[in-house]
Amino acid sequence: MSDDFFPVPEDWAKNALMDKAARAADYARSIDDADAYWLERAQRLDWITPPTRANESSFVEADFGVKWFADGVLNVSANCIDRHLATRGDQAAIIWEPDSPDAEPRRYSYAQVHEQVCRFANVLKAAGARKGDRITLYLPMIPEAAFALLACARIGAVHSVVFGGFSPEALAGRIIDCDSTLVVTADEGRRAGKAVPLKANVDAALKDCPSVKTVIVVQATGGAVTMAPGRDLWLHEEAAKLSPDCPPEPMNAEDPLFILYTSGSTGKPKGVLHTTGGYLLWASLTHELCFDYRPGDIYWCAADIGWVTGHSYIVYGPLANGATTLMYEGVPNYPTPARIWEVVDRHQVQTIFTAPTVLRALMKEGDEFVHATSRKSLRLLGTVGEPINPEAWRWYHSVVGEGRCPIIDTWWQTETGAAMIAPTPGATDLKPGSATLPMPGVVPQIVDSEGQVLDGATEGNLVIAQSWPGQMRTVWGDHDRFFQTYFTTFPGKYTTGDGARRDAEGYYWITGRVDDVINVSGHRMGTAEVESALVLHESVAEAAVVGFPHDIKGQGIYAYVTLNAHEEPTDELRKTLVKWVRTEIGPIATPDAIQFAPGLPKTRSGKIMRRILRKIAEGEVSAQALGDTSTLADPSVVDNLVANRQG
């Protein structure tokens, strides 16, 4: 076995859901006989009215739109819960591992999840929520977060989950954008032994959100909160008064299921909209194929429910498949860097799915934390969120998995709903650092900057040539922005914003974003968002933000800040600005470096030359690295930037 090629192990090939030939045949059919293929695949879901039509999407302006299974009717929560009751009502649907290893884990069978979700749905209904209403969820990683998603789906309300690490300002912006009338939160969250004041953050956010009439509060820690009479209700008090049954609302396949805000290269975060039928099919099919899901498996996706990975691979995919999904409240290195592997042993987990940034951080702590645990239950190791460097891949494979477990590197995006390029264990030979091959129906292409399709082994912009069931349907409230953002750079194709290389065997290697989006610890961050936050500060005249390589986070945030006249560039102000950004957006947007810049490198037409700023942040300051600066309005600003580089 060479260091950069890992063939499918024999025992895996023997027992695979699909072997190599079957995977190739399945993929070919998904393209050549697409409608029949997808109508057949759609049968994995329970439909109230089965669809008779599959893909009716178009990426060209004249008849632009994304539409799948348009005459089908179903309910997502019935697919994730009710249909399993007869066969696995007593099986664990959700196992919850608390932040503290000394606290008791909780286990909910499918029957118990059914009751919890029905009561929750009835609470939402009693508060006036109806099909199509938007409900914002701002919750910690507790079982009630999964119940809340499913309760919304049950009544046909559209959930918008806002990550619990976002600030009140960021939360308010997302509530206002989708006009939510109802917010669900908890008294507090708990991470690494510290309380996160979620309810207090909601109170602060709601000062700017008159549309919100009701706040439902989950009692998670018992911490003190203020309840606004007439507005705030305790979930447990309301749920106890209502029926443990709630009929699922029949939904058209194209009715909205959820909105999830994500960062782009321009403007404020976009509300990515996913709908009911295609999304659920995509989440459930890819969960089965990527993770070789078998009944009885304990499966753990260690993401937060605030990100798309949490939606598709903690809740919808696994529960649609009748799996047991583990939810973890805390962080990977608390109280020690052995915690993840201890949780694996405690619950006898078969599959773990995490991010490269987590692996790099744990790797740095030394192998002894891994060796202190058994990990014998592990069968598969997944990764997502950013390119995995081959060193972390090999560590995951040899140290964590002791060479037994395939690494499933899944490339995808909030916009794609679930995995797009990923290995199928048992069918795909692995290469460290490559997400390998496309999932069924996915047609990746590599194009040059003019949009020419490049064949064979090559490198360029990654686009997807045709629709797949889990594709986003629109940007909430701005359909034109959806078209402009994703379908005009390379007309007729979906632009991913990622660069990629394809090798001679057709394997894809994602090289990272080609736009102004940076990836900090697997979290997407628009440089424009951080810039907008900085210029809101009274001392700041202008700001330009770029990413730079960071050992643990993948990319760090480097901000160039031009102060207003008469402002002193002090360390004090630098600290203030860091804190300012944390308050405006949230801790994930904390700048790693702030450089005061009397001037920014601009073209004569006023465009900031980010290429130069990126080079300086990376420490590449030779004339050769900086390239041609002659088109700058004032080339001398570059010397000042180089001289005052941070870090």
Q: Does 409 bind ligand 6R9 (CB under 6 A)?
A: yes
Q: Does 221 bind ligand 6R9 (CB under 6 A)?
A: no
Of residues 405, 441, 436, the one with CA closest to residue 291: 405
C-beta of 385 vs 444, nearer to ligand 6R9 = 385
- Smallest gap from Cβ 357 to ligand 6R9, in A, equals 11
Q: Is 243 annotated as a binding residue?
A: no
Question: How many angstroms from the chain centroid is the CA of residue 420?
Answer: 13
C-beta of 435 vs 446, nearer to ligand 6R9 = 435
Cβ contact 135:161 at 8 Å: no
Q: Is 579 annotated as a binding residue?
A: no
- Pairing assessment for the beta strands 298-301 and 324-328 based on DSSP bridges: parallel
C-beta of 411 vs 476, nearer to ligand 6R9 = 411
In terms of residues, how long is the chain? Answer: 647
Of residues 401, 400, 396, 399, the one with CA closest to residue 409: 396
Task: Give the binding-site size for ligand 6R9 (rule: CB under 6 A).
Answer: 22
**Between 432 and 461, how does the x/- string for binding to ligand 6R9 read (CB under 6 A)?**
---x--------------------------
Contact window for ligand 6R9 (CB under 6 A) among 293-301, 359-367, 409-417, 622-630: 409-417
C-beta of 325 vs 357, nearer to ligand 6R9 = 357
C-beta of 342 vs 498, nearer to ligand 6R9 = 498
C-beta of 470 vs 601, nearer to ligand 6R9 = 470
Site for ligand 6R9 in 556-585 (CB under 6 A): none
Which tokens belong to 478?
């701005």
Q: Does 277 bind ligand 6R9 (CB under 6 A)?
A: no
Contact window for ligand 6R9 (CB under 6 A) among 95-103, 155-163, 381-389, 637-645: 381-389
Q: Does 524 bind ligand 6R9 (CB under 6 A)?
A: yes
C-alpha span between 136 and 128 (Å, rounded): 14
Q: Is 562 annotated as a binding residue?
A: no
- Smallest gap from Cβ 313 to ligand 6R9, in A, equals 9
Q: Does 168 bind ligand 6R9 (CB under 6 A)?
A: no
Which residues, at least 6 apart from 278, have a Cβ–Cβ distance to it below 8 Å?
68, 69, 253, 417, 469, 470, 471
**Between 245 and 274, how does the x/- string for binding to ligand 6R9 read (CB under 6 A)?**
-----------------x------------
Q: Is 595 annotated as a binding residue?
A: no
Which residues, at least 6 apart from 606, have a Cβ–Cβ distance to it below 8 Å?
633
Q: Does 413 bind ligand 6R9 (CB under 6 A)?
A: yes
C-alpha span between 143 and 113 (Å, rounded): 9
Q: Which residues of 275-296 are buried (b: 16+ CB within 10 A; e: fewer)?
A: bbbbbbbbbbbbbbbbbbbeee
C-beta of 109 vs 160, nearer to ligand 6R9 = 160
Of residues 319, 410, 395, the one with CA closest to residue 362: 395
Rounded to 5 degrees, φ, ψ at 97 are -105, 120
C-beta of 156 vs 310, nearer to ligand 6R9 = 310
Beta carbons within 10 angstroms of residue 349's beta carbon: 25
CA atoms in the 13 A half-sphere facing the CB of 391: 9
Site for ligand 6R9 in 477-516 (CB under 6 A): 496-498, 510, 513
- Smallest gap from Cβ 472 to ligand 6R9, in A, equals 10
Which tokens belong to 116?
């919890």
Choose which of 286, 436, 467, 519 interacts with ligand 6R9 (CB under 6 A).
519
Q: Which residues of 540-555 are buried (b: 16+ CB within 10 A; e: fewer)?
A: bebbbbbbbebeebbb
Contact window for ligand 6R9 (CB under 6 A) among 147-155, 382-390, 552-560, 636-644: 382-390
Choose which of 256, 387, 432, 591 interacts with ligand 6R9 (CB under 6 A).
387
Question: In 3-state terms, what secondary structure has residue 211?
Answer: coil
- Smallest gap from Cβ 266 to ligand 6R9, in A, equals 15
Question: How many angstroms from the chain centroid is the CA of residue 407?
Answer: 19
- Smallest gap from Cβ 229 to ligand 6R9, in A, equals 39
Contact window for ligand 6R9 (CB under 6 A) among 157-165, 303-311, 605-613, 623-631: 303-311
C-beta of 96 vs 307, nearer to ligand 6R9 = 307
Cβ contact 162:138 at 8 Å: yes
Of residues 312, 391, 390, the one with CA closest to residue 353: 312
Choose which of 12, 37, 412, 468 interacts with ligand 6R9 (CB under 6 A).
412
Q: Is 411 annotated as a binding residue?
A: yes
Helix (H) or strand (E) holding 195: strand 194-196
C-beta of 304 vs 592, nearer to ligand 6R9 = 304
Which residues, at least 6 apart from 318, have a Cβ–Cβ distance to it below 8 Å?
287, 293, 299, 301, 324, 325
C-beta of 248 vs 440, nearer to ligand 6R9 = 440
Q: Is 336 annotated as a binding residue?
A: no
C-alpha span between 63 and 130 (Å, rounded): 31
- The burial of 14, by beta-carbon neighbours within 10 Å (0-12 exposed, 13-18 middle, 19 or more buried), is given as exposed
Query: What DSSP designation does 449 have?
Result: T
Alpha-carbon separation of residue 117 from 225, 310, 634 (angstroms): 25, 18, 62
Q: Does 118 bind ligand 6R9 (CB under 6 A)?
A: no
Beta bridge partners of 499: 461, 512
Question: In 3-state terms, what secondary structure has residue 571?
Answer: helix
Contact window for ligand 6R9 (CB under 6 A) among 34-42, 73-81, 107-115, 410-418: 410-418
Choose which of 411, 476, 558, 596 interacts with ligand 6R9 (CB under 6 A).
411
- The burial of 219, by beta-carbon neighbours within 10 Å (0-12 exposed, 13-18 middle, 19 or more buried), is given as middle
Binding site for ligand 6R9 (CB under 6 A): 262, 307-309, 384-387, 409-414, 435, 496-498, 510, 513, 519, 524
Binding residues for ATP: 385-387, 409-414, 498, 513, 524
Binding residues: 191-194, 309, 333, 385-387, 409-414, 498, 513, 521, 524, 535, 537, 540, 582
Binding residues for CoA: 191-194, 309, 333, 521, 582
